[in-house]
Amino acid sequence: QSVLTQPPSASGTPGQRVTITCSGSDSNIGSNYVYWYQQFPGTAPRLLIYRNNQRPSGVPDRFSGSKSGTSASLAISGLRSEDEANYYCAAWDDSLRGPYVFGSGTEVTVL
């Protein structure tokens, strides 16, 4: 059972905006940065967003992250077929559950 909660799935048509939520608590999202990782089937995860809303070089600006209180969101604007993947949020956790926890993952489908 994951410490951070995400919806199991999300979908949209090409060009649409899709938002994935990540719900945590005071000990993780509420007091630490949030990260997002993208994972295609059969491959390793790739860092997509760090420190809540920063994109590593090479990540398209269609991907954006935000955080408010104990929740965070990943938005994909201008959805493309190549965005079909699993997305995981993560955060440092100051409680005994930590120190680093992942979300349950959201599978994004492009219709």
Contact positions vs other proteins (CB under 8 A): 2, 31-33, 35, 37, 43-47, 50-51, 56, 88, 90, 92, 96-105
Report the nearest approach of other proteins to the CB of residue 71 (Å). 17
Q: How far is the CB of 103 from other proteins (least distance, A)?
A: 7
| Shortest spacing between CB 56 and other proteins, in angstroms | 7
Cis status of the peptide bond prior to 14, with omega within 30 of 0: no
Please state whether beta strands 106-110 and 9-12 pair in parallel, antiparallel, or not at all (unpaired).
Answer: parallel
Virtual torsion, Cα 10, 11, 16, 17, nearest 10 deg: 0
**Given the complex with other proteins, which of 100 and 111 has the nearer CB atom?**
100
Q: Are 11 and 108 in contact (CB under 8 A)?
A: yes
Comparing CB distances to other proteins, the nearer of 56 and 78 is 56
